[in-house]
């Protein structure tokens, strides 16, 4: 509880101290700020985390943009600590669960995404909740219907938050299915009955039913999005028979046509494109090494742990099945399928998704590292004739040292994006909330202006404005590079108007702020 309280303060500080970066600002501006209904039916870009935006839209009613954007992630980050501690505690008591939690929160990728206004931390919460439900389902005790319902809801919300969470949904379902199947076979041999008649066989049927229900629920939620997208496209398509028709009328008249068109649109605009198969394995191997480095600054060691983990969990699974001992096997199955299935899927798909998609694998890495270390220390304790709890305490101290080193001294708390940070810094010098006419010259400014001051400004005309912030690259006549965020370049800026009517009042490393008022002092940073 002391550790949880400390992390609550730390995550709370990060939530308000770090300026949101582009993906967060885009999510807030286009979805969260427009309410839960709007967020639930709009998908202009495939990287919209719909489920997260819907939940965050409710928190946004509290009136604080930081809470609206990052509040759900903040709560989920704390929930993840509790859930992981509980899952590890079901494997073994003592110091190990806390050591695993510390190893998890110390990871760079986990820390960076912990309170970001995106759906990755929420996805990890769903992963851990589903895993915890599986531990209850796969236990020898009778399981009520509520556990299966919570399991299915966790899968649905995980996929609704981030569709790429299918990479942990499949391993989790396979782990639970194989565990109950193995155990059902053993029970059927002992009781001379059909596998599905055994207690574990009955649980397997219920688990399959819950997984199928989750799949249908996910399809239903995405079906709403497909319906909204499809109807919007069809009524605006001049070649369509529904052109000019109202959205509601079109949906009522031909709902399946709208769903089909919306589904076609999403499939035609995948967020992660497939690559050429030639030479993919080499590129994929580099990708795995880079991903490992995002967890800890020793990618080679992390890769070794992954490799040992595959052999270690496979050995324990085979040994447990042969001996008919299933205690702790569910953890091994989750780890095994979680490590093995993702590379296999990506090699088949020929895709290298963004690293943040696999932040949840930090859970697998922390649990695996903790289990391996615990096995080593337990064996050492037996050979030395010492109390194994003392060795477990050493593991906890080592994990704590890693946590302090990473969270306090490794640059984990730098700003997400220097541009967004400097825009916020410049805005703070310009009395923006009292301006009558502001010109935004790039989309980051537009989104930040609304996030920080509640000003939804779409004015891109510099003439007539009383405040304008220019990226220094815009002021360079020789800069010709295409920057997709820019609304202006040197040739589109009315320099005569700026010279005659505005004064440069603030400048930092990347931006220059002009206002219509005369200022005697020009502040310069950097």
| pLDDT one-digit tens code per residue, 203-214 | 999 999 999 999
Q: Which pLDDT band, with edges at 50, 70 and 90, does 94 fall under?
A: confident
Q: Which pLDDT band, with edges at 50, 70 and 90, does 78 fall under?
A: very high
Do residues 479 and 403 both lie within one domain? no
Q: Which pLDDT band, with edges at 50, 70 and 90, does 416 fall under?
A: very high
Of residues 521, 498, 523, 518, the one with CA closest to residue 508: 523
Do residues 434 and 386 both lie within one domain? no
Do residues 404 and 422 both lie within one domain? no
Q: Which pLDDT band, with edges at 50, 70 and 90, does 47 fall under?
A: low
Tell me what percent of the residues of the chain surpass a pLDDT of 70: 94
Do residues 375 and 449 both lie within one domain? no
Q: What is the pLDDT of residue 377?
A: 77
Cα of first residue to Cα of last residue in the chain, in angstroms, is: 42
Mean pLDDT of the chain: 89
Do residues 142 and 272 both lie within one domain? yes
Do residues 426 and 386 both lie within one domain? no
Q: What is the pLDDT of residue 386?
A: 62
Do residues 458 and 386 both lie within one domain? no
171: how many CB neighbours lie within 10 A of its CB?
A: 23
pLDDT at 522 over 70: no
Q: Are strands 467-471 and 511-515 parallel, antiparallel or unpaired?
A: antiparallel
- Angle between helices 443-453 and 22-30 in degrees, nearest 10: 60
Do residues 308 and 398 both lie within one domain? yes
What is the average pLDDT across 117-142? Answer: 93
Do residues 8 and 95 both lie within one domain? yes
Q: What is the pLDDT of residue 390?
A: 66
Least confident of 172-176, 293-297, 378-382: 378-382
Domain count, the chain: 2
Query: What are the beta bridge partners of residue 515?
Result: 467, 503
What is the average pLDDT across 416-423? Answer: 94
Domain boundary among 346, 379, 409: 409
Q: Which pLDDT band, with edges at 50, 70 and 90, does 519 fall under?
A: very low
Do residues 116 and 48 both lie within one domain? yes
Report the alpha-carbon distance of residue 213 to residue 343 in Å, rounded: 27
What is the average pLDDT across 341-362? Answer: 92
> Which range of residues forms the domain containing residue 198?
2-409
Do residues 369 and 461 both lie within one domain? no
Do residues 401 and 427 both lie within one domain? no
Domain boundary among 376, 409, 442: 409
Instruction: Compute φ and ψ for 508, nearest 5 degrees.
Output: -125, -160
Best-predicted range by mean pLDDT among 258-267, 401-410, 497-506? Answer: 497-506
Least confident of 69-73, 303-307, 327-331: 327-331
Domain boundary among 360, 382, 409: 409
Q: Which pLDDT band, with edges at 50, 70 and 90, does 275 fall under?
A: confident
Query: What are the beta bridge partners of residue 503?
Result: 515
pLDDT at 1 over 60: yes
Report the alpha-carbon distance of residue 122 to residue 131 in Å, rounded: 14
């Amino acid at each position: 509880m002391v550790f949880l309280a400390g992390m609550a303060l730390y995550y709370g500080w990060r939530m308000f101290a770090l300026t949101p970066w582009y993906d967060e600002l885009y999510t807030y501006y286009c979805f969260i700020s427009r309410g839960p209904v709007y967020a639930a039916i709009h998908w202009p870009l495939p990287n919209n985390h719909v489920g997260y935006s819907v939940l965050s839209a409710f928190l946004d009613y509290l009136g604080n943009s930081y809470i609206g954007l990052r509040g759900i992630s903040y709560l989920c980050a704390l929930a993840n600590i509790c859930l992981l501690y509980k899952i590890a505690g079901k494997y073994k008591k003592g110091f190990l669960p806390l050591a695993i939690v510390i190893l998890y929160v110390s990871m760079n990728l986990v820390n960076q995404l912990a309170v970001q206004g995106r759906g990755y931390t929420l996805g990890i919460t769903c992963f851990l909740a589903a895993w915890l439900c599986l531990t209850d389902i796969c236990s020898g005790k009778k399981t009520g219907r509520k556990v299966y319902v919570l399991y299915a809801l966790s899968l649905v919300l995980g996929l609704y938050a981030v569709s790429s969470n299918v990479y942990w949904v499949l391993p989790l379902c396979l782990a639970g299915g194989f565990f109950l199947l193995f155990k059902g076979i053993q029970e059927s041999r002992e009781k001379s009955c059909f596998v599905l008649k055994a207690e574990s066989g009955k649980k397997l049927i219920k688990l399959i039913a819950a997984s199928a229900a989750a799949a249908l629920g996910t399809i239903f939620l995405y079906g709403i999005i497909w319906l909204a997208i499809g109807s919007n496209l069809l009524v605006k398509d001049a070649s369509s028979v529904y052109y000019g028709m109202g959205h509601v009328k079109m949906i009522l008249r031909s709902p399946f046509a709208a769903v089909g068109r919306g589904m076609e649109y999403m499939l035609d605009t995948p967020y992660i494109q497939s690559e050429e198969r030639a030479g993919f394995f080499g590129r994929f191997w580099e990708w795995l090494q880079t991903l490992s480095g995002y967890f800890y600054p020793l990618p080679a060691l992390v890769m070794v742990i992954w490799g040992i983990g595959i052999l270690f969990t496979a050995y324990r699974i085979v040994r447990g099945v042969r001996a008919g001992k299933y205690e702790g096997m569910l953890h091994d199955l989750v780890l095994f399928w979680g490590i093995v299935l993702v590379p296999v899927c990506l090699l088949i798909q020929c895709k290298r998704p963004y690293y943040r998609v696999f932040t949840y694998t930090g859970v697998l890495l922390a649990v695996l590292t903790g289990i391996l270390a615990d096995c080593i220390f337990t064996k050492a304790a037996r050979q030395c004739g010492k109390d194994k709890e003392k060795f477990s305490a050493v593991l906890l101290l080592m994990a704590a040292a890693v946590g302090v080193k990473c969270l306090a001294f490794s640059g984990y708390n730098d700003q997400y994006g220097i541009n967004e940070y400097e825009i916020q810094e410049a805005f703070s010098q310009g009395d923006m909330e009292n301006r009558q006419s502001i010109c935004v010259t790039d989309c980051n400014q537009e989104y930040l202006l609304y996030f920080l001051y509640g000003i939804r400004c779409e004015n891109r005309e510099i003439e007539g404005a009383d405040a304008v912030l220019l990226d220094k690259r815009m002021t360079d006549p020789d800069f010709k590079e295409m920057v997709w965020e820019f609304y202006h370049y040197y040739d589109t800026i009315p320099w005569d108007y700026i010279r005659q009517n505005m004064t440069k009042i603030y400048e930092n490393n990347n931006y220059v702020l002009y206002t219509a008022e005369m200022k005697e002092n020009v502040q310069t940073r950097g």
